[in-house]
Homo-oligomer: A and B are copies of this chain.
Amino acid sequence: MPELILKNIARHIALDPEEEAYFLSVLQPRKLRRRQYLVQAGEPCRYECFVEKGCLRQYFLDDQGQEHVTVFAVEDWWISDMYGLITGKPSLTYVDAVEESELLLIEQAAFETLLVRVPKFERFFRILLQRAYVANQVRIIENLSLPAEERYRRFVERHPQLEQRVPQRQIASYLGITPESLSRLRHQGAKGKRP
C-alpha cells in the first residue's frame, strides 16, 4: 500500500529489495482525528512522520501563550519536531491534525538505526533538509521584505489546496499577522481591482 512514500523516496535514492523491505518494516501506520496531537511540547516521545493523507500543522506557544504555526504538511510531505528528534530533548513544538489524517511514523530510535543500517538514508534526509533549509531561507526573506498582503498572495499561490482546508486563523498565524488583519486583507484585496 505505501506506494506514496516509496515514490517519495525514489525521487532521491534507489533502494534494493532488502533495503525496501527493511524500511517498510520500520514504518508505523497511524490515523489521527481532527485536532488530535501527534506530538506535544515538553513530551519526550518523537517521530519522523510522513503524511499519506490529510494535513498536519506544527506550532509553538510563545511566552504569552499565543499559538504560532510554523509548518503545514499535506500529503507526500515529511514533518517532525526536528529539534526533539536531533537532541533527544523534550519537543519545543506541538504537531496536530488539521483534518483526519493517515501517517507513517518512524520512531526516533528506529530512525537512528535506519540511518546506520541503510546509509543511503543519510543522503535522502540530507537532501530533504537542504530543500527545507532553502525554503526556510526564502520564507525568512519574504517575511522580512514583503508586506502582509503580498505574503498572503504568495501563500495562496503556493498552496492552493490549503486555502480551503485550513482555518483562516491558522493561515494568519503562519503569515505572522492577526486573524483580523487577514480578514481585512482578503476583502480589501478583492475590492481594490476596480477603479
Contact = CB atoms under 8 A, between A and B. Distances in A.
Given A68-B144, A143-B176, A123 B115 contact: yes
A130 interface: yes
A70 B140 contact: yes
Interface in A126-151: 126-127, 129-134, 136-137, 139-141, 143-145
A73 to B, nearest CB: 14
Copies of this subunit: 2
Interface in A93-133: 115, 119, 122-123, 125-127, 129-133
Interface residues of A, number: 31
Interface in A27-77: 60, 62, 66, 68, 70
Contact of A82 (B66, B122, B133, B141): B133
Contacts of A131: 86
Among A123, A131, A139, A144, chain B packs the most CB atoms within 10 A around the CB of A144
Contact of A145 (B68, B123, B125, B129): B68
B68 A137 contact: no
A22 interface: no
8 contacts: A62-B141, A70-B140, A86-B130, A86-B134, A126-B129, A129-B129, A132-B133, A143-B143
Given A82-B133, A122-B123, A125-B126, 8 more contacts: A68-B145, A85-B130, A86-B130, A86-B134, A119-B122, A129-B130, A136-B137, A140-B143
| A-B CB proximity, top 9 nearest | A144-B176, A129-B129, A136-B136, A122-B122, A126-B126, A62-B145, A83-B134, A122-B123, A86-B130
